[in-house]
Structure 1
Amino acid sequence: MFQPAPDAVYGFPNARALVRVDSPYQRIEVWDTPQLGRLFTLDGRPMTSSGDEFIYHECMTHPAALVHPAPRAALVLGGGDGGAARQLLAHRSIERIVVAELDAQVVRLTREHLPDVHGGAFDNPRVELVIGDAAQYVAQQIAGANKVSFDIVVFDLTPPDSPAASLYTPEFLTQLKRILAPQAAISLHLGSPYFHAARVAALLTNLQQIFAVVRPLAAYVPLYGSLWLMAIASDTLDPASLTEHEVTARLTQRDLDGLRYYDATLHAALFSAPHAVRDKLGRFLKPSP
């Protein structure tokens, strides 16, 4: 059973535990379920399942990558399951993808048990896996003589009340901007508007303090038991401004024809929150200037 809020529980009956590992950072468990196939949890929280990961990972990567005219370098913070890297590899203009994952055990276990999620992404020469603190990696890039500028950054992390807490702060976001290219976008997940409204509002406030354009987007993710909010933030790029024709043209140009959830027709709908969500989050879901 999962408990996303003190007054809410849900679960997947007849789930079967396959492996449990206590790493130096967290408890990692891999399960087999009749509903969503293989999935893994961190400290009891659902992270990714083979049955619906494409919803989350496609929404977290492609809208941000497509709004950029020609992304060449991407950074994934977290992402040890390889799902975000696998999606970014579909953009042929991206020459380098750095995955900065804190926990080597996450990579090991998901490589073994969730091959449908990573699709062999870590074996691709365009992908560089860095094990360690993502904040430290960013600091090293800032201090280094050969600093890399990233066009896309994907926050594929555990929630703010976890070992990843420092990566959601205004201080880190400000630091991160120092390694972003002039045209760049970041993508991050916010949480459920029904279970985590205060957390979502706080994250959006932080983003709006740092970036000129902040666009929330929403998709229902069965593993998370709720509508799930994400956001794309940038100083120069606005994914909500792309028309269906423009998205179609870019999907065709980049030969992105194997997607299972995201497409040009869906693009605008992702950025349109239902009334109930707008009422709950108020001004935070209003378009930024």
Structure 2
Amino acid sequence: MSDWSTETLHADYAQSLRIDRLLYDSETEHQRLRVFENPTFGRVLTLDGVVQTTEGDNAIYHEMLTHVPILAHGAARRVLIVGGGDGGMAREVLRHANVEHVTMVEIDAGVVEFSKEYLPALSQGAFDDPRLDLVIADGADFMKTTSGGFDVIIVDSTDPIGPGEVLFTDTFYGHAKRALAPNGILVTQNGVPFMQPEELTNTMRAFRALFADATCYLATVPTYAGGPMAFGWGTDGDARATPLDVLTGRFDAAGLTPFYYTPAVHRAAFALPGYVQRLIP
């Protein structure tokens, strides 16, 4: 199966994607980067063999980590993205005309540069938007020292191994809480809870100690196999209770035409199945 990319993130479960054409294969100081083409998912990015994003289904992940907190907040002006070197998260945040400034902190400049060349469909020019401030730095270090004042913080991390591990610690979440403006919202990537239950439980334990409203919401991303993906949600405000009609008004005013997100999906994403509820302390 030399023409297949097999992901071995989990000890007893694997998925494979067929490689039609290998476009990029290089090892940086931090990780091994590969881009290949697949008939169903288009161009696929893997880091150390683990699928990070694809042209085919990236919109689900990026839309749900951006539109949910931004539309729930209703007045987000300053947004921080930790990670997101492929530019997909910045792309979706910048679709919101009311967002005035986006700070994006990415540890690996190599990810940004090759994404511009090999995955331009993900960023769609986001790196050229004057509202975007790209900072090449360790996200945990940045969070310790930032003056904060962010309405929304999006943690678009890899899994909690290697460089991404520090972004799942209680200390990091505490610094993120401090960096939020009043009633700001923190959202995080928390893996597939059926396959990675401890990841969600540990994050939710930290969130429950920090925020008045701490939970998660779900979306199904085909290449993040093993069930729906969980996104952590933490805030001291009441944005999660924003009524459907208000979300719909904000959505219509924003002029969005998403692939996956709708206001109804937004509300439904917080309805958790029993096995996920039991993972939240």
- Which of the five TM-score ranges fits, normalised by the shorter chain? over 0.9
User: Unpaired segments of 5 or more residues in structure 2?
Assistant: 1-5
Question: Could you tell me which amino acid in structure 2 is paired with residue 138 of structure 1?
Answer: M
- 1:4-61 superposed Cα distances (whole Å, 9 cap, x missing partner): 3111111112443211111111111111111100011111111110100000000011
Measured after TM superposition, the shift of residue 283 of structure 1 is: 5.3
How far apart, in 2, do the equivalents of 1:150 and 1:280 lie?
A: 29
How far apart, in 2, do the equivalents of 1:283 and 1:169 lie?
A: 17
What is the root-mean-square deviation in Å for CA atoms of aligned residues?
1.5
Q: 1:130 to 1:198 in 2, by over 3 A?
A: same
Measured after TM superposition, the shift of residue 237 of structure 1 is: 3.4
Kindly indicate whether the alpha-carbon contact (under 8 Å) linking 2:83 and 2:139 is maintained by their aligned counterparts in 1. yes
Secondary structure of the structure 2 residue equivalent to 1:193: coil
1:266 equivalent in alignment to 2:265: yes
Kindly indicate whether the alpha-carbon contact (under 8 Å) linking 1:191 and 1:228 is maintained by their aligned counterparts in 2. yes
- 1:181-215 superposed Cα distances (whole Å, 9 cap, x missing partner): 01200111111122111222112112112111113
State the match for 1:22 in structure 2.
27
How far apart, in 2, do the equivalents of 1:265 and 1:155 lie?
A: 24
Map residues 219-234 of structure 1 onto 2, 5 A cutoff: 219-226=219-226, 227-234=228-235
How far apart, in 1, do the equivalents of 2:23 and 2:84 lie?
A: 21
Secondary structure of the structure 1 residue equivalent to 2:223: helix
State the match for 2:3 in structure 1.
none
Question: Could you tell me which amino acid in structure 2 is paired with residue 247 of structure 1?
Answer: L
Runs of 4+ in 1 over 3 A off after TM superposition: none
Kindly indicate whether the alpha-carbon contact (under 8 Å) linking 2:143 and 2:172 is maintained by their aligned counterparts in 1. no
Aligned match for 2:275, one of 271, 276, 279? 279
Kindly indicate whether the alpha-carbon contact (under 8 Å) linking 1:186 and 1:233 is maintained by their aligned counterparts in 2. yes
TM-score (norm. length: structure 1): 0.91
How far apart, in 2, do the equivalents of 1:138 and 1:169 lie?
A: 12
State the match for 2:119 in structure 1.
114
Aligned match for 2:106, one of 96, 101, 108? 101
Kindly indicate whether the alpha-carbon contact (under 8 Å) linking 2:215 and 2:280 is maintained by their aligned counterparts in 1. no
Q: 1:281 to 1:17 in 2, by over 3 A?
A: farther
State the match for 1:70 in structure 2.
75
Secondary structure of the structure 1 residue equivalent to 2:17: coil
Aligned match for 1:56, one of 54, 61, 67? 61
Measured after TM superposition, the shift of residue 148 of structure 1 is: 4.2
Q: 1:35 to 1:265 in 2, by over 3 A?
A: same
Kindly indicate whether the alpha-carbon contact (under 8 Å) linking 1:76 and 1:154 is maintained by their aligned counterparts in 2. yes
Measured after TM superposition, the shift of residue 140 of structure 1 is: 2.9
1:91 equivalent in alignment to 2:96: yes
Measured after TM superposition, the shift of residue 136 of structure 1 is: 2.0
How many residue pairs align between the two structures? 275
Measured after TM superposition, the shift of residue 222 of structure 1 is: 1.0
Q: 1:86 to 1:213 in 2, by over 3 A?
A: same
User: Unpaired segments of 5 or more residues in structure 1?
Assistant: 142-146
How far apart, in 2, do the equivalents of 1:136 and 1:205 lie?
A: 22
Question: Could you tell me which amino acid in structure 2 is paired with residue 57 of structure 1?
Answer: H
Secondary structure of the structure 2 residue equivalent to 1:31: strand
State the match for 1:156 in structure 2.
156
Secondary structure of the structure 1 residue equivalent to 2:162: coil
- 1:98-129 superposed Cα distances (whole Å, 9 cap, x missing partner): 11000001001111111111111010000011
Kindly indicate whether the alpha-carbon contact (under 8 Å) linking 2:91 and 2:124 is maintained by their aligned counterparts in 1. yes
Map residues 124-143 of structure 1 onto 2, 5 A cutoff: 124-141=129-146
State the match for 1:236 in structure 2.
237
Kindly indicate whether the alpha-carbon contact (under 8 Å) linking 1:215 and 1:238 is maintained by their aligned counterparts in 2. no
State the match for 1:212 in structure 2.
212
Kindly indicate whether the alpha-carbon contact (under 8 Å) linking 1:99 and 1:128 is maintained by their aligned counterparts in 2. yes
Secondary structure of the structure 2 residue equivalent to 1:224: coil
How far apart, in 1, do the equivalents of 2:133 and 2:186 lie?
A: 19
